[in-house]
Structures are given as structure tokens and as C-alpha cells.
Structure 1
Amino acid sequence: MFEQLFIAIDVMFMCYMCMVYIRIYKKVNMPKREGTKRKHETEPESIHEQREFEDLWKQIFSVGTEWEHIDSLYTHNWNFTNLEKAFEQGGLLHDKKVYLFGSTEFQQDDEKEKLTCIPIIVAVVSPIPPSDKIGIKSVQRETEEIVNMKHMKMDWVPYIPLSKRASSIERVKQFQIFILQCVQRRAGLKQMTIDRIKKFDYCLPYIYNPFEEDETDNSTIVDIVYPPVVCTFDYEFDELEKFTNGLIDEEALCEDRMDEFKEFVREKVRELKRANRDANKKRKKAKEEMDQHKVTAFENMKVYKFYPVDSPDFAIRQKAKYVNRYYGKAHMVL
């Protein structure tokens, strides 16, 4: 009996020593956690709170921007908080129906070492879409095309602020912000002709407001391209005979081509006068056929142009009111 008792005591002692050994081994061999703080001493992580319209400018398509430049727009962290604040309480665009489209301009950086492509956002305040058309025109293209937006895979779509993106479709219908987007995918460009691709580069948001005269309407200046002569002729102020003799004296025009040149200029003047008459008829007809709701919309329409806010990386050197050949100048630049 005593023998069994001693054996039991030996086993218990050996188990105890094993437990002590394991504890000592862990204490010696486990790596120390240096620099750790107690739970109550840890600093809380800073959480970035998204602003209501933080991604607005990135959702807007930059119309007429060459495909190779579109990616470069997002390499810089442009700051459009001026546009965001315009939609807040008391802001310029708060509680108004607004249509937004993008474009780009090139400006030099502070060191004047390179040109930077900067995004521009244009806001049109209007109870109706300003237009469902796109103009395709550039210096390189002789003709001007006015086509439906959908022909270029563009359309006005509602913008949903970040905090409301879980809302139902019925609530989405109440939103007042519409942005121009393009669903053309880069991968699809490989299957297009060069001319079709270039059309995207030459696109301009189009509008026809019969209550505002275009800069070219009723113009008296004719562009003359009669190789080697390239000039302008103002039929209201320039006398054709004197104008032609001046070119001959400057040796820009051969004397034996004088009569041919004068007839060429006369024809260009006739074409411009016809274009001015047609434009005036078109404007008059559009006013007569327009319902009162559209008349009010066009008369009260406002156009605002937003540049990025200056940052330590890039400061905007110039701000211009000019939007494009169809919209003319913005009412305000911000």
C-alpha cells in the first residue's frame, strides 16, 4: 500500500515539474512584443468620412477629350470642393435642377516645364435638358455635324449623392442633378475606324438657344483661303478693289489673277449673307414653335464654369468664361 502511495506521489511530482518547465520555456523563448500599448492606450484609427459629392467630378464625362488624355486626368488628385459646396445649403446650385458636363483645358505648371491637362466642369441650371444633341466640329474637319447624343453613346443620367445610393428607385426620381456620361468602352475602340474614333475627339456639347445670338450670326467677316492668300475680308468695312490692290502691292497675289480673286471673294460674301439670313429665319421659327415652358427655361438658363481649386501640386494660372462655340461664355467662372 505504501509502495503504491509513493508511486502516485512521484507521478504527481513529475507532472508538476513538466508544467513548470513548459511555463519557463514559453517565457524564455516567446518573442517579446515591443512597443505595444495597452488596449486603453491605443490611438483610435482616423476614418476618412466621404463627402456627399466627393466623386461627382469623376463621374462626369470629359467631352471632346482625346482618349489618350482621359487617363491622365485621374493621375492628379484634383480638388472640386468649390463644385461640391455649390450644392450645399446656401450654395449657388442648391435645390436646383442642374445638368453637368466636362471638358478639358491645357495649362502650364508653375515651373512652365510642361503642359498639364486639367478637367473643367460646366453646370447648366435649367428645368429641362439643355440639349440632346452633340456637335462634331474642329479646325481639321471641313463640315459640321449635329447628331443625337446616343449616336456617340452619350446621355444625361441622374447623379446619386453618396449618402443616398441605398435609396429606392422611386426616391432617385426626385434627384435634381444630371451628368453627361459616355458608355463607350476603350476596348471597343480597336474595332472602330480612325474617323469614328476622331469624332469623339471633336465632340462638343451642343445647345441651340434662339434667344441668344451666336457669335457668327450676322457676321460681316469672310474667311478667305485662296492659295497662297489666306486672310479675312470684312464686306462692311473693306472695299474689294482697294483690298485686292493691296494684296498685289504686297506681292501676295499675282496681278493676272486679280479678277478671278475678286469673283471668289464676292461668292464667299454671298454665301455668308445667305447663312446669316438662314440663321435669322431659323431663330425666328424656333421662337414661334417653342411652348411657354421652354421659353421660360431658355430665358432663365444659367451656365457656370468650375475650375479645380488651387492645390500645393498645381495652381490654376488662367480662368476663362468661354465654354465652346455653341454655349459661348459662361455667366460665372468659379
Structure 2
Amino acid sequence: MARPRAKKRTTPQAAATDSVEPDATVGASSKLEEAAAEPATRERGKRVKAPPKPKPETEYFDEKGNFEDLWLSAFPVGTEWENIDKIKEFNWSFENVEEALEEGGELHGKTLYMFGSTEPQLLYVNGESKIVLIPIVVAVDCPFPPSDKIGINSVQRENEEIVPMKAMKMAWVPYVPLEDRLSRIDIFKTKIFTLGCTQRRSALKHLKIERVKKFDYCMPYYMPLQPLEDEENTTINFLYPLEPPIVDEFDWEMDDYEDFADQKVQEGSLPEGEKEKFKEFLKEKVRERKRELRQAKEARKKAIDDMDPAMKEAFENIKFYKFYPVKTPDTPDVNNVKARYINRYYRNAHYLK
């Protein structure tokens, strides 16, 4: 007779598991999860509500004028590179330019070509005398560009040069008022153009000194229909190379070569043995000046003869406006140094602001 088979022996863990009721298993699992989560809860501690952030104070900004940066867009022609930053020494204001361009102003709606420049003047600043580089703005009221050339001239240079603007990296650039700058097409509708320069200051160190100095002697060129005042002038300025040099002027209509040379000998500035050489030097300078005047006269006549009638009419009615910065609590008063003179080409402004 066969022996009955014994039941399969189970491990204590299995036996314990088998003996637990389903509800008890769920309860134990929950307790294990709570035990695991408890340490983390202790570490975090009770969350404290952060205090409310203070509301930011409302900031108020001065509303920018529609033409507020116009004067800065006009390159200060003829200002030495190392002095350009001195323009920003004061917070200059050209509210007079803005008012003239706004609706109801005398320049509103006109076609304008504007350039900047600077004038060093001795002014009182905080009770002390100081040389101040005053920025000025010139507005040319004309339907056509007054010129596409730049004059290069100074007392340090023997010869005057008239070169295309592009030779000095300059050009008339459209100016778009602040409120219109989001619309790119408005750049083609503007009637305001400023003289800009694309020469980078950082690249100056790679240029020859003579080239850099040319920028210092630049001035906007304009050929008026009438001859310049100095084209009728019979006086030459000269520098005769001696040690020390003779620097003077000679009027070929009023002065005599022989008498002028004798006077320099008597003054002790010219050696007796240099008289003939000195007289020949003066005669050559006079011949050069007469040749320049003749060429300028011929060039003006040809330019006027070839000029389009509409442009000729525009040049006959051209107007120049010269603006100085207005007085503010932050800037020195420039009213006593205002002058109509612009430069040797434009001569005097029709209107001084």
C-alpha cells in the first residue's frame, strides 16, 4: 500500500505572505510608503509663505521729441578726431531745431540738407573761463543737394583741394524722424538729409597722418552763383622758409616788391643777400594766386552755363539757417558768441537761431 505524499514544504517568507489577508497587505504597503516619505518631510519642514513682493514704482520718462537726435546725426565736419568726444561734455539741447521742423515751424515740410560743425569759444563755466567746443547745425533749404563735394583748406595747407564727398567717405544720408522709424518705407519719403561720414575712428591708426589730418581740414563745399569775396582780394598770405620763417601778407596792387623786401631787411628778418630770391618768391606766389582766381572764375561760369534751369532757380532762392544750442541749466550760455558766418564757401547764414 502506497504511502501518502507529503505536502510541499514552503519557505517561512512564503508562508508568512500566504497567511496575510489582502487588506492587511495594502495597509502594510501604505505604512511603508509613509515611513519612506517621513524623513523627507522632516527635512523640508513646514513651508513658510513668502512675503508679497513690493509693487515696482511707476517710472516716468521724458517724452522724446520727434527730431531730438537730429543734431547728433549731422557729422561735425572739420572737427579734429581727438576732439569729437568733447562735444558730449555738456548735455546740449537743440530744441530750436526741433521746433523749426515740427508742424507750424519755419522749416516744416521743406527739403533740407543739414550738416554739423563746431566752434571753440571762451565761455564762463561754473564761474571760470574755459574753452568750450560748441556744436552748431546748419540747415540748407534747397530742393537739390547744395553740393556733392568737400573743401579741404586751412592756414597750415598751401593749396586748397575740392574733392568729391565719397573721397572722404561722406555723403548726404536720409534722416527719418523717430516716430517713423518702424516703417522702413518712410526712409524714401523723408525730406531731411544729413551729412554723414562712414570713416571708423578705430581704423584711423592704420591711416597715414596726412590722410587723417585731411578730415580735420574738411568743410562743406558750396559754389554760390556770385563770386566769393576773396576772389576779388589781391592779397596773398605767405611763409618764406628761413630760420625763423617770415610769415606775412603781400598785396600785389598796393605793395611794391622792392620796397617790401627793403622793409624786411631793415626789420632784420631778411638777410641782405636774400633780397632777390625773396622778391622772386613773392612774384611766383602772386602768379599762382592769379592763376587760381582765373581758373575759379572760368569754372563758375561753366558750371552756371551748364546748370539745369530748375537747379539754377533753386540756387538763386537757397537759404541757410544756422542753429546754436539753446540755454539750459546744464549748459553754458552761448548767446554772446553767436555769429552768422558759416565757412568760406557758404559765407553767412540768412537766419541765425
Normalising to structure 2: TM-score of the pair? Answer: 0.77
Q: CA deviation at 1:160?
A: 0.8
Does 1:97 pair with 2:111? yes
Q: Deviations over 1:125-161 (max 9, x none)?
A: 1110111112222233333332222222221111111
Distance 1:172 1:315 in 2: 35
Distance 2:110 2:172 in 1: 16
Larger radius of gyration: 2
Distance 1:158 1:115 in 2: 33
Q: Which residue of 2 aligns with 1:88?
A: 102
Distance 1:196 1:254 in 2: 37
Does 1:320 pair with 2:334? no
- Structure 2 gap ranges (5+): 1-45
Does 1:181 pair with 2:199? no
Amino acid at match of 1:172: I
Does 1:143 pair with 2:162? no
Question: 1:277 is matched with which residue: 277, 286, 294?
Answer: 294
Distance 2:265 2:198 in 1: 54
Output aligned runs, 1:229-308, within 5 Å. 229-308=246-325
3-state secondary structure, aligned to 1:71: helix
Distance 2:202 2:276 in 1: 55
- Structure 1 gap ranges (5+): 1-21
Q: 1:225 to 1:183 in 2, by over 3 A?
A: closer
Does 1:76 pair with 2:90? yes
Q: Which residue of 2 aligns with 1:11?
A: none
Q: CA deviation at 1:121?
A: 0.7
Q: CA deviation at 1:31?
A: 7.0
Q: Contact between 2:227 and 2:297, CA under 8 Å: does it hold in 1? A: no
State the superposition RMSD in angstroms: 2.6
Distance 1:133 1:319 in 2: 27
Q: Percent identity?
A: 51
3-state secondary structure, aligned to 2:155: coil
Q: 1:194 to 1:255 in 2, by over 3 A?
A: closer
Q: Which residue of 2 aligns with 1:115?
A: 131
Q: CA deviation at 1:45?
A: 4.7
Output aligned runs, 1:49-60, within 5 Å. 49-60=63-74
Q: CA deviation at 1:241?
A: 3.3
- Larger mean Cα displacement after TM superposition, 243-252 or 200-209: 243-252
Q: Which residue of 2 aligns with 1:165?
A: 181
Normalising to structure 1: TM-score of the pair? Answer: 0.81
